[in-house]
Amino acid sequence: MATFLRDFNVGIYKEHLDDAAFLYEQRRAYLRDPEVNWADLSAWEDRLEAHLDALVVGGDLALEICAKEAEAGEPGAMHAALRVFCRQNRKESVFATLDAIDPAADAAVDAAAWALCSEVGWRDDVLRTFQQEDRPQLTRILARVVGYRRFSSEGLVADRLSRKPSFGRTEMAWALGRVGSAASVRVLRPLLDDEDPCVREAAAIAMMRLGDDFPVRQAALNAGSDAWTRRVLAIGGDSRSVRILLDVVKAEPDTETVVALGLLGDLAAVAPLVELLDDEGLAVAAGIALNTITGAELHARVFVPDTFDPDELTNDEREAFAKDGTLPTKNGKPFGNWERRPLLDKAGWRAWLEDNKHRFSRQNRWRMGKPHGPAALLDCLIAETTPYVVRAATSEELVVRFGMDVPFEADLPVSLQRRFLSKIGTWIAQHGDTFESGGWYFGGRPQ
């Protein structure tokens, strides 16, 4: 009987761990899906939480299952196991799992970092381990934890970064932008010439968060050749950046430049963005950019049929598919999902713009149909249809342009996002009148 009960419980805990791994992966994918409302992630987070609670209640047997699955290295299961280890205060299990991760395995690094960002409270242990240069495989993970949790550690991160490690330069630059001060700019500036464009972008944004506008000038000079500069200009650029990015769009457009024009909010970009709605590769980005400027919330419902492997079809279905491509249906309706996407119809956009042109002035820059400023940026963060790419840049803008000091991140759990959005609202109530709506700012000063 005891053996049977143990085997039964093992099956239950494996199922909880499998479900937790699946929910982690789904939440991770949906976070950056522009067709998913950010607030809807709470349903996935609540379901994940229930499975983690069940594993915590499972005690030693559940921990044994978690340890075996974490050792196997599948990112989702490892993520769930690490969170259970943290909740059970099993530091040895946590760091043993981290030590086994390949620092070049992005999916595993992401899974481990997000687990620790969500759970770990061992500030001293994290900083002591981060300081150990003989464990470089942990640098990428722990640097994210340091920045995400805002652990006071500027000197430590700056020292590690100045030693030019093989792994973790992007993550440490990102972290310094959150825990550093103006004194860290000297460490970050050489990274603008790093061979890795991700490092260059992270360092540039970190420097801007710390009040240095040198990256804006550098990005303006290199926007035609370096893709990483476009997001930098979107977050910290001035009115001249609009013309620079419009020239890039004419010569060699890409999605980063198109979204950046939406973030800059200058009406000069509207007509070129409407023209890009005919470009299959850039149309969605153009629709996102237009909604970001205008607040029109013009979306369309698009049916996306499921894909099928012919080998999975029945004989009759396979015969119909081979004959004329007919796919199986349910009650006469094809399998698939309706998804929300930005409206990509030029005529629809032109009609809306004609009807609403009286609301806009070329003297202002715009966000969500309102003159650009802290309040408009908060509205952008709150709007449930604002995609992650825009929300993440908007949270950076609030720091870079207006000096907002609320530790908001666009990938926080929904419950924490709501709490911090309320704090941003309080900050704006106290400081918002300092800024003239529709203007260009950097570091709290007009550009």
pLDDT digits (tens, 9 = 90+) for 184-205: 999 999 999 999 999 999 999 9
pLDDT of 132:
87
Residue 206: enclosing H or E segment and its boundaries?
Answer: helix 197-209
pLDDT score, position 28: 96
**Which helix (H) or strand (E) is 7 found in, with range?**
helix 2-31
pLDDT, tens digit, 9 for 90 and up, residues 262-279: 999 999 999 999 999 999
Q: Name the pairing type of β-strands 441-442 and 329-330.
A: unpaired
Res 380: pLDDT = 98
CA-closest candidate to residue 78, choices 141, 9, 169, 10: 141
Task: Provide the 8-state DSSP code for 191.
Answer: G
The DSSP secondary-structure symbol of 100 reads T
| Residue closest to 226 by CA, chosen among 188, 252, 258, 264 | 252
pLDDT of residue 307: 66
Question: Rounded CA gap, 137 and 167, in Å?
Answer: 7
Cα 154 to Cα 324: distance, rounded to the nearest angstrom: 64
- Determine contact, residues 242/266, Cβ cutoff 8 Å: yes
**How many angstroms from the chain centroid is the CA of residue 45?**
16
Task: Give me the count of residues in the chain.
Answer: 447
> What is the model's pLDDT at position 305?
63
Average pLDDT over residues 332-358: 83
Q: How confident is the model at residue 36 (pLDDT cuts 50, 70, 90)?
A: very high
Q: Per-residue DSSP letters for 323-379?
A: HH-PPPEETTEESEEEEEEE---HHHHHHHHHHHGGG--TTS-EETTEESSHHHHHH
Largest CA distance in the chain: 79
**Contact by Cβ (8 Å): 242, 220:** no
Specify the range with the lowest mean pLDDT, choosing from 65-74, 184-193, 212-221, 437-446: 65-74
Instruction: Report domain extents, the chain.
Output: 1-120
Question: How much of the chain, in percent, has pLDDT values that exceed 70?
Answer: 91
**How many Cβ atoms sit within 10 Å of the Cβ of residue 369?**
17
pLDDT (mean) for 130-157: 92
pLDDT tens for residues 225-242? 999 999 999 999 999 999
The pLDDT value recorded for residue 133 is 76
Q: How confident is the model at residue 334 (pLDDT cuts 50, 70, 90)?
A: low
pLDDT at residue 341, rounded to an integer? 77
Q: What is the pLDDT of residues 376-430, one digit of tens each?
A: 999 999 999 999 999 999 999 999 999 999 999 999 999 999 999 999 999 999 9
**pLDDT tier for residue 304 given thresholds of 50, 70 and 90:** low
Which whole-number Å values give the CA distances from 270 to 3, 51, 291, in the listed order? 69, 47, 10
Whole-angstrom distance, CA of residue 246 vs CA of residue 272: 8
Letter for the amino acid at 342?
P
Q: How far is CA 145 from each of CA 112, 127, 151, 157, 201, rounded to the nearest angstrom?
A: 10, 10, 8, 12, 19
Q: How confident is the model at residue 312 (pLDDT cuts 50, 70, 90)?
A: low
Per-residue pLDDT at 317 exceeds 80: no
* Pairing, β 441-442 against β 336-342: unpaired
| Whole-angstrom distance, CA of residue 246 vs CA of residue 142 | 39
Q: Where are the beta strands (DSSP E) in 13-59?
A: none
* pLDDT for residue 325 is more than 70: no
- And the tokens for 181? 């001060």
Among positive and negative, which fits the CA dihedral 23, 26, 28, 33? negative
316 by Cβ neighbours in 10 Å (0-12 / 13-18 / 19+) ranks as exposed
What are the two backbone dihedrals, phi and then psi, of residue 141, each rounded to the nearest 5 degrees? -70, -50
Do residues 340 and 300 lie in contact, with contact meaning Cβ atoms separated by under 8 Å?
yes
Lowest mean pLDDT among 113-117, 215-219, 316-320, 362-366: 316-320
| pTM for this model (two decimals) | 0.89
> Token pair for residue 63?
């921990």
Q: How many whole angstroms separate alpha carbon 272 and alpha carbon 269?
A: 6
Q: For the segment 90-136, what is each residue's pLDDT rounded down to a tens digit?
A: 999 999 999 999 999 999 999 999 999 999 889 999 999 999 877 87
Mean pLDDT of the chain: 92
Element at 394 (helix H, strand E): helix 388-402
Helical segments of 58-196, H only: 59-72, 75-87, 91-99, 106-119, 123-130, 139-148, 154-162, 169-179, 185-188
Cα 322 → chain centroid: 42
- C-alpha closest to that of 139 among 162, 161, 111: 161
- pLDDT in the model for residue 323: 66
Q: What whole-number distance in Å separates Cα of residue 60 and Cα of residue 66?
A: 10
Which of the four pLDDT bands, split at 50, 70 and 90, describes residue 299? confident
